[in-house]
Amino acid sequence: MALELPLAVETHGSPPGEDVTTFLLLHGYGGSAFTWRYWTTPLARRGHVVLVDMKGFGAAPKPDDDAYGPHDQAELIHRLVVQRDLRNLTVIGHSLGGGVALLLALRLLAEPRPRLRRLVTVAGAAYRQDFPPFVALAHHPWITSLLFRILGARRVVRWVLRSIVHEPDRVTRTQVMGYAEPMDGRAALRALIRSALRILPPDLDEVVMRYPSIDVPTLLLWGREDRVVPLWVAERLAAELPDARLAVIERCGHLPAEERPEESLRILERFLDETEAQG
């Protein structure tokens, strides 16, 4: 009997199968499946879509423990893949989810029977870098708790979103609500803080040395003006991954799938078509 995992999972499109592409989508820090609202339906027309709220985020359980690091998340998602026997996988990760996707790819490629077909990292974490203010702030839990208590989740989220997109005035109320609603409550704030405290894997240098073993077609999709995970991360990844292609969207910040949904989707679908044709 499969053990219940502290994840929230929703599926769309065709049932999974050997000849069906499965798209596994992982959100970023403070995010949820809401991140992928513009991509979900088009991808569902291509195959089986699995949207995951990682442990501590969105609708996922938020247990009072310390297992909130990227390796912890990658292990849970790997268990989900094995439990559901998902194959022909295209793993898509944004920001923190991009870092988790890299760790998941290393786990999947170590299996005797291949499951991973493609990898997509959207403004994904990969190397040591300066923390953005909203992550650095969470390293001071009492300040973070005070801000949420005084300002409320909606105001904090509005400030964060406006600080990470290229055009702050285009942040909408729907966007703010979509990110803020799952953050209400003590358990959500605790999970947010513990995820920030463990956001850098302790063995990151060893993990980075293994990136060249990720030999599947990989799309690196970035906003030119990303101030959270800067473009140099993508450029270094493009140089280290054996089969990577970099696509940069102009006048775009850290949220390509939301700031430029049509353009980012066109780039993704072109990558899917090209790699499908390659066999």
Q: Over the stretch 218-244, which tens digit does the pLDDT of each residue have?
A: 999 999 999 999 999 999 999 999 999
Confidence of residue 2 (pLDDT cuts 50, 70, 90): low
Q: Over the stretch 137-157, which tens digit does the pLDDT of each residue have? A: 887 888 888 888 888 899 999
Q: Where are the beta strands (DSSP E) in the chain?
A: 8-13, 21-26, 47-53, 89-94, 116-122, 218-223, 244-249
Q: How far apart are CA 58 and CA 213, in angstroms?
A: 32
C-alpha to C-alpha distance for 232 and 123, rounded to whole angstroms: 11
Closest CA to 132 of 155, 164, 100, 169: 164
Are the beta carbons of 55 and 68 closer than 8 angstroms?
yes
DSSP of 63-126? -SSS--SHHHHHHHHHHHHHHTT--SEEEEEETHHHHHHHHHHHHHHTSSS--EEEEEEES---
What pairs with residue 223 in β-bridges?
Answer: 249
5, pLDDT greater than 90: yes
Which of the listed CATH numbers 3.40.50.1240, 3.40.50.1820, 3.60.15.10, 3.40.190.10 matches domain 8-133+201-278? 3.40.50.1820
> Mean pLDDT throughout 150-172?
94
| Residue range 40-53, pLDDT digits in tens | 999 999 999 999 99
Tell me: pLDDT of 169 over 70.
yes
- 19: helix, coil or strand? coil
How many CB atoms lie under 10 A from the CB of residue 4? 8
Residues in the chain: 279
Tens of pLDDT, residue by residue over 240-279, are: 999 999 999 999 999 999 999 999 999 999 999 999 877 5
247 phi and psi, to 5 degrees?
A: -120, 125
Helix, strand, or coil (residue 183)? helix
Say what the alpha-carbon torsion angle 204, 80, 52, 275 is, to the nearest 10 degrees.
80
How confident is the prediction for the chain on average, in pLDDT?
95
